[in-house]
Amino acid sequence: MRIPSPRARRTLGLGLAALLAPALVTGCGSADDLHRATTSMEGVRTTAAAVPPREGAAATDTSASPSAGIPSQRTAPPSGGPAPRPAGATAPAAPTATATPTASPTPTAGPSTPPQQSRVIRTTAGGSRTVALTFDDGPGPATRPILDLLAQYHAHATFCLVGDEVRRDPGAVRRILAEGHRLCDHTVDHPQPLHALPHDRQVHEIADAEDAIVRAGGPGTRVAWFRAPGGDFTAENEQIAADHGMASLGWSVDPRDWARPGTPAIVADVERHLRPGGVVLMHDGGGDRSQTVAALRDLLPWLTAQGYTFAFPAEH
């Protein structure tokens, strides 16, 4: 076998290189083009995945479809949510919350509504043939003449005192206690109607009157009852009184002596309406009480003759 000379081998190598060069160039070009196309397609996919869907738009399944990586258009409802609406459908109206009324309904009177139990006392502690005499709005100019008459008949009474009047005449309070009578709170300055005042003001009227009475009476003074001006008792002021250890005191006989109808009218009213265990309302303050003093002169012997004994109101 003839071995080609070195010159021939060089010539053969150059020829082969010339023949292979176009193929190599073509092959590299195709690879670069393929790489650029692949990179471009991946960029499209990445961009599409990075753009969030518009608020309110339906979510789509972005898994590859048979069509060269183009996302399919299957609609995917949110987890646990309702099925998607067809395109163009009208959204159902959101339910409107109905406001719950905050005001308490007005109770309807009827057999099913139990009556409110009153805590106002209108009888004596002993009942039977007893009577409780009570005097409001003092101490005043009539207090001492009334005390004189009560002492004459060995009668005891309850005095419902006004705080401002107590401060003007604390000595009358001490005499009331010294002679065996009892005390009742009738507010600081007799406001009417009491229930129309704010709660704090009602507390002031009741608590400060009690304080004034206790100060005037001295150590150990006890105020057992509270009487609302004009009989204006409410659950509110009854509770305030109870919080201060006082029972609410009303009456069963009112001769309206404060209106000064005349001594005979005052006497006749008491004699007509009094029943055993009754509580009589009269006044020793708040104006001219000369008719009350005169009426008491007639009533004390009449009560004794009728067999009444003098007692204090019940305390609960």
150 part of a folded domain: yes
Residue range of the domain that includes 134: 130-310
262 part of a folded domain: yes
Q: Would you call 316 a catalytic residue per the annotation?
A: no
Q: HSE on the CB side for 123, CA within 13 Å?
A: 10
Q: Low-confidence residues of the chain, pLDDT below 50?
A: 1-116
45 part of a folded domain: no
The domain that holds 276 is classified in CATH as: 3.20.20.370
63 part of a folded domain: no
Catalytic residue among 136, 169, 257, 284: 136
Separation CA 75–CA 83 (nearest Å): 9
Q: Which residues touch 30 (CB under 8 Å, ≥6 apart)?
A: none
Q: Which residues touch 143 (CB under 8 Å, ≥6 apart)?
A: 135, 159, 169, 172, 176, 284, 285
**Do the Cβ atoms of 312 and 118 come closer than 8 Å?**
no
Q: What is the pTM of this model?
A: 0.64
What's the pLDDT at 126? 82
What's the pLDDT at 162? 98
Q: Would you call 136 a catalytic residue per the annotation?
A: yes
95 part of a folded domain: no
Catalytic residue among 137, 181, 283, 284: 283
Separation CA 213–CA 158 (nearest Å): 13
61 part of a folded domain: no
201 part of a folded domain: yes
122 part of a folded domain: no
Amino acid 169 reads: D
What's the pLDDT at 127? 76
Please count the structural domains in the chain.
Answer: 1
